[in-house]
Amino acid sequence: MGPTVAIIGAGFGGLCMAIQLHRAGIGSFTVFEKGDDVGGTWRDNTYPGAGCDIPSHLYSFSFERYSSWTRRYPGQPEILGYLEECADKYGLRSRIRLNTEVVSAAYDETLGRWRVRAADVAEGRESEELFDVVVSAVGQLNRPHLPEIPGMSSFAGPSFHSARWDHSQDLTGRRVAVIGTGSSAAQLIPPVAEAAGHLDVFQRTPNWVIPKPDAAFNRAARAVFHHLPFTQRVYREWIYRYAEGTLYRALAGGWSTGLLRKRALDHLHAQVPDPELRAKLTPDYPIGCKRVVIDSAFYPALTRQNVDVVTDRIVRIVPEGVETETGIREADAIVYATGFLTTEFLVPMEIAGRQGRRLHDEWKDGAEAYLGIAVPNFPNLFLLYGPNTNLGHNSIVFMIECQVRYIMGCLPQLTERGPMEVRPEAMDTWRRALDRAMDHMVWQAGCASWYKNAAGRVTNNWPGSTPLYRRLTREPRPAAFRFAR
């Protein structure tokens, strides 16, 4: 049988956890998913042009390789299809409760179990169940951030966030305003620019942009991947090593920083001939401080006749469009490509650990977790893609697999010795090591980014290499935990 496990979320993380439990013969798990299907961010982000800027041969499970990727960087429908296939292949559907949102989880010290309350999204009806273990797999990029710009509700036309695309709106021939120029905006701007009559792109801070060397896999290439599966492994390994060897070194201030910067500047110069526009698009902070945009269609879209890059400060939204410090830019529709509430981990769930301690109180100065996975005073609670586990350079699926393997290693220990809770001393040591490693990373440089909380602490990113993270999470160290028995 094994312990009962509540998994919150059915994206990459939740599915990975469920698959590994299933493979280990532990059937006593339930996946709670507030959406109407599996897929997480790949279900939510359906904006035109949505896709992944990490090649899918790497951005997929190592144990579930897929020879049918149609291109190096497939679009959102293909990635979502892959996750749906995984859910079907492992017979997970019957264990996934869709349209069911976990509202709270409270640790019952007498029972040594978690009381998980979940609500039916349509009817709001709540019910409670007991679980031995709770695994949060809600991710870091699941709650859209809408800016607080005065007058937003006064806008006369449709407006929506990139992660909540309103497909009922036909933007063909219309005047569109896109606010934001991050990775989501960079992907949606090219198709929107093509359809729109006019597009205003409101840029607050330019991003560093490097090319995305996309290409379709022809039938022969796919046949090779299919019939000679080791070629997929080799290709995956090659992408991984490139990301680790070159991009990570650049973020850590190593030998490739200058190369990466040059690559971005060359890309800008090659794609944007107009010096005035080029100046607007040239960042003044170190490369990698904010997430580098990987896209080859973004700059060409900005050079189109029907596109303006507006850098004047936005003052307010008015019924007819966007008012900046130099006047009103009229718009029929506004797209907020303004990112996510990234530093509020596990919000809005109420999580209470031993002695009723609220997780959000513990985290008032910034979310933190041992290995990004475990939190003192919260026995048998494990996090996937938790604090300080995001990558600026490689596939998050790699990190999720490390975390799932670690949690799978915890299960026999907590079954044998009772609920396990990371020791505060282990957490302190971890925090100090993290702070030391963070000192070398470019994210600390003077830029604002979604990696940092309001106090300027980098709560989202992992400062080490991914091989190091794999080593650290290879298996749980019992000495780092206190057990009930």
CB-nearer residue toward ligand N01: 160 or 450: 450
Please give the residues from 390 up to 449 whose contact with ligand N01 meets the rule CB under 6 A. Answer: 448
Q: What is the phi/psi pair of residue 411, to 5°?
A: -60, -45
CB-nearer residue toward ligand N01: 113 or 267: 267
Residue 205 touching ligand N01 (CB under 6 A): yes
- Report the nearest approach of ligand N01 to the CB of residue 203 (Å): 7
Please give the residues from 290 up to 309 whose contact with ligand N01 meets the rule CB under 6 A. Answer: 291
# residues near ligand N01 by CB under 6 A: 27
Between 396-417 and 12-23, two packed helices, what is the crossing angle to 10 degrees? 50
- Report the nearest approach of ligand N01 to the CB of residue 87 (Å): 21
CB-nearer residue toward ligand N01: 289 or 374: 289
Q: Which DSSP string do the residues of 63-113 spell out, in sequence order?
A: TS--TT-SBSS-BHHHHHHHHHHHHHHTT-GGGEETTEEEEEEEEETTTTE
- Cβ pair 52, 79 in contact under 8 A: yes
Residue 214 touching ligand N01 (CB under 6 A): no
Tokens of 126: 């709540």
Please give the residues from 162 up to 191 whose contact with ligand N01 meets the rule CB under 6 A. Answer: 162, 179-185, 187
Q: Which of 147, 213, 424, 467 binds ligand N01 (CB under 6 A)?
A: 147
Tokens of 224: 């090779």
Residues in the chain: 485
Distances in Å between the alpha carbon of 251 and those of 16, 265, 369, 387, 444?
A: 28, 17, 22, 18, 10
Lookup result for tokens 């021939």 = 173
Distances in Å between the alpha carbon of 194 and those of 190, 215, 475?
A: 6, 21, 50
Please give the residues from 254 up to 293 whose contact with ligand N01 meets the rule CB under 6 A. Answer: 291
Distance (Å, whole) CA 407 – CA 383: 9
> Interface with ligand N01 by CB under 6 A: which range of 103-111, 336-344, 364-372, 413-421?
336-344
Please give the residues from 17 up to 76 whose contact with ligand N01 meets the rule CB under 6 A. Answer: 51-54
CB-nearer residue toward ligand N01: 32 or 248: 248
Q: Which of 137, 289, 314, 427 binds ligand N01 (CB under 6 A)?
A: 314
Distances in Å between the alpha carbon of 323 and those of 89, 264, 306?
A: 51, 32, 19
Residue 339 touching ligand N01 (CB under 6 A): yes
Q: List residues binding ligand N01 (CB under 6 A).
A: 51-54, 141, 147, 149, 162, 179-185, 187, 202, 204-205, 291, 314, 337-340, 448, 450
